[in-house]
Amino acid sequence: MKKIFAMILALTMSFALVSCGGNSATSSGAGSADDGTLKLAEPGVLTMGTNATFPPYEFYEGDKIVGIDTDLSAAIAEKLGLELKVVDMEFGALIGAVQSGKIDMCLAGMTVDPERAKNVDFSDSYATGIQAVIVAEGSDITSVDDLNAKLEAGEDFLIGTQESTTGYIYSSSAPEDGGFGEEHVIAFSAGAAAVQALQQGKVDCVIIDIEPAKAFVEANEGLKLLDTEYVSEDYAIALPKDNAALQDAVNNALAELIEDGTVQKILDQYIKAD
């Protein structure tokens, strides 16, 4: 229910943004094919970077990377008359890859975050996320409050997260900032590894974005998604700060895809309503 509300809110906000941004979208010619003026990692190619460990946003189907972010990238590339190339890398390497121009944009279920915004620019948001908590069935952790109670009681507990993600950043922050302190958090290279550690009893819970959380719970025995949310956030495309033409092209293409319902259609295809 909350998610539906968040989605409606995000949609309303997107429409509001589209309508105020309407003028710039038409004047800079969104939707036209790239006439060669865009500075790209490879001419004629839109290189998108991601970390394909994050269903349903990006994951492997055989040896192909599929998901919401690749479909959205394909729609953007098509609007710009460019070929799409998807590059898979560590989540923590994505911001640097955008900055150095190794990739033209990053779509990785990436949360808009002020620290990241020092190094990259974010597009309008195309989806919302929630940091959720996964536990083993029968766990005594039934809510985020239970984690806080453990912290206050000085009990030992460990939270598994994916490295460099907001799940890690928030939960490892100091208690006065809403976190549990670094000593209570382990970072794994991928969410699936954190989930495996949970199954093996090496961590007491996993904090990760809700859609991958659902996918992991569905794919693994003995796990439960808590009906409690830790933090809610916005996902957006990360773009290089020093490439205004590319920013305009991608932002305008995204605005059109939000406005004509393509983004919602892609989201609905991968995310079933509760």
Q: Does 171 bind ligand ARG (CB under 6 A)?
A: no
**Contact between 55 and ligand ARG per CB under 6 A:** no
Residue 255 Cβ vs ligand ARG, minimum distance, rounded to whole Å: 22
Query: 216 or 256, CB closer to ligand ARG?
Result: 216
Nearest CB to ligand ARG, comparing residues 171 and 251: 171
Examine residue 172 and tell whether it contacts ligand ARG (CB under 6 A). Answer: no
Which of these, 140, 59, 77, 117, lies nearest to 238 by C-alpha position? 117
Q: Which phi-psi region, left, alpha or beta, contains residue 3 (left: φ > 0; alpha: ψ -120 to 50)?
A: alpha
Which segment (97-105, 106-114, 198-206, 249-257) binds ligand ARG by CB under 6 A? 106-114
Candidate list 49, 55, 129, 179; residue touching ligand ARG; CB under 6 A: 129
Identify residue 121 by its one-letter amino acid code: D
Residue 53 sits in the site that holds ligand ARG (CB under 6 A): yes
Cβ contacts of residue 201 below 8 Å, gap of 6+? Answer: 136
Size of the residue set binding ligand ARG (CB under 6 A): 16
Q: For the CB of residue 53, give the shortest distance to ligand ARG in the complex, in Å.
A: 5
Minimum CB distance to ligand ARG smaller for 95 or for 135: 95
Q: How far is the CB of 231 from ligand ARG (least distance, A)?
A: 10
In the complex, minimum distance from the CB of residue 131 to ligand ARG, in angstroms, rounded to a whole number: 8
Looking at the Cβ atoms of 50 and 171, the one nearer to ligand ARG is: 50
What residue ranges in the chain does DSSP mark as E strands? Answer: 45-50, 59-61, 64-66, 83-88, 105-106, 121-136, 159-162, 185-188, 205-209, 223-239
| 180 part of the interface to ligand ARG, by CB under 6 A | no
Q: Within positions 181 to 210, which residues make up the interface with ligand ARG, using CB under 6 A?
A: 209
Q: How many angstroms separate the Cα of 242 from the Cα of each of 154, 264, 274?
A: 47, 30, 41
Q: What are phi and psi of 166, to 5 degrees?
A: -65, -30
When binding is defined by CB under 6 A, the residue of 72, 108, 185, 249 that contacts ligand ARG is 108
What's phi and psi for 31, nearest 5 deg? Answer: 95, -15
Q: Is 216 in the site for ligand ARG (CB under 6 A)?
A: no
* Of residues 4, 216, 239, 205, the one with CA closest to residue 103: 239
Measuring CA to CA, which residue among 178, 47, 171 is closest to residue 101? 47
β-strand 121-136 against 223-239: which pairing, if any?
antiparallel
Q: Which one of residues 25, 54, 231, 237 is an interface residue with ligand ARG (CB under 6 A)?
A: 54
Q: Which residues would be at the binding site for ligand ARG (CB under 6 A)?
A: 50-51, 53-54, 57-58, 91, 108-111, 129, 162, 165-166, 209
